[in-house]
Structures are given as structure tokens and as C-alpha cells.
Chains A and B, each alone.
Chain A
Amino acid sequence: MNLSNNITNFGVGTDIESVERFNNYTLSDDSNFLRSIFSESELVYCFSKESPANHLAVRFVGKESVIKALYSIGIEDVFYRDIEILNKSNGVPYIKLDDMYKNIQFQISLSHSKENAIAFVIAMEVTDNE
């Protein structure tokens, strides 16, 4: 985060979900459903893993958390498919959103066990000092 920016508003969001609920989704049988929530990049990433359910679940709760955080600062028109949760080369997750929301910066933390996936998001509305 660029600390030269002023944070004018912020919201938080969190969510938890059972990983088991994502066990039976497959790209072949649930393509429309999965693509209504996840981007192509997210699906490629999740289904490249040995246990896609963990990665689908944690991205789902991440998106829920983003929606909740944005909703709390009055932004109500962002839905699952608008949000991408990707990983930096060092594995740290980050949120990619349409450029129209470039005044919003996020911090996200994701975690999952065998049973559950959890996410915590801070959404910060910023203005440039310059």
C-alpha cells in the first residue's frame, strides 16, 4: 500500500465456509456455475492443485469478504465475478478489481484447514495527495 495516499474511508469483511461443500464441483459438470463466480485465471489455478476444493473455498470466502467490506462503505454493485483473487510470485494473495474502483485499496488474508476456509479483508477508499 502506498502510504502517501490518504485513507478517507475503510471497511472490513470476513467469511468462513466449509471446504467440503466445494469437493464435488468439477469443470466438466459445473462449468456455468463455477464461471459465474470465478475467473478463468482463478479456475486454472484452483484446478491445477491436488485439492481444488481448498482453493475454490478460500477464494469464495475471499470474494464474500470483499463484497462485505465494500458494502460497509457503501459500494453495493460489486459481485463475485467482478473480483479476482490472484497470487503474487511469493504466494501472497491480492485482489484485482475493475479500474473504476482504482480508488479502493485492499488488504486480504486467506487461510484454510482441511475442514474450513476463512478470509479477512480491509477495503480502503483513498485519495492521492498529489
Chain B
Amino acid sequence: MSEEDTIKKIFGEVIGIDESEITDSIAYNSHESWDSLVHLELVNELEDEFDVEFEMDDIIAMETFGKVKEIVKKYLS
């Protein structure tokens, strides 16, 4: 499974939406399930999976699925 597929899988599981419905524009606080607590769960799952620790600024910047992917990849590069 590619890094992007893994990010999408984790995102779908934590946010609670089918992977087929995930687009880059899905945004924090605009999708009904993606609130602050779920956001922290998402961050925790991604950190565990990829063995990274995100900076606070990056956690806050993960405002869309597209940004989540971009930030995770930055830590893996």
C-alpha cells in the first residue's frame, strides 16, 4: 500500500467516511465528523503509523485532506 493510500485509509477510518468519498477538498469543521477531538485522533493515528511527531503549526495547518497528505509527506521526505 502506498503512503497516500495509507493516509487515505487512516483518514477514512478516523473521520468515519468511505474512502471513495474522500477528496482533497474535504475540510476540517465543514465535514460533520471532523471536529477538534477527531482531528487530534487523526494526528495521533498518523504519528503512530508513520513514526513521526508533527509540529503544532502543522497540526493546525491540516485543514483539508489535501493538506493532511502534503504535511505527512513533508515529514516522510
Contact = CB atoms under 8 A, between A and B. Distances in A.
Given A32-B47, A33-B44, A77 B37 contact: no
Contacts, number: 18
Interface residues of B, number: 10
A60 B36 CA distance: 10
B40 A80 contact: yes
Interface size range of chain A in the complex: 10 to 19
B43 A36 contact: yes
Contacts of B37: 17, 21, 60
B47 to A, nearest CB: 7
| Chain B interface helix/strand/loop/mixed | helix
Interface in A91-108: none
A37 interface: yes
B13 interface: no
Interface in A30-80: 32-33, 36-37, 60, 64, 77, 79-80
A37 B43 CA distance: 12
Interface string A14-39: 00010001000000000011001100
Interface of A: 17, 21, 32-33, 36-37, 60, 64, 77, 79-80
Given A60-B37, A79-B59, 13 more contacts: A17-B37, A21-B37, A32-B47, A33-B40, A33-B41, A33-B44, A36-B40, A36-B43, A36-B44, A37-B40, A77-B56, A79-B56, A80-B40
Interface of B: 36-37, 40-41, 43-44, 47-48, 56, 59
Nearest 8 CB-CB pairs, A to B? Answer: A33-B44, A79-B56, A36-B44, A32-B44, A64-B36, A21-B37, A37-B40, A33-B41
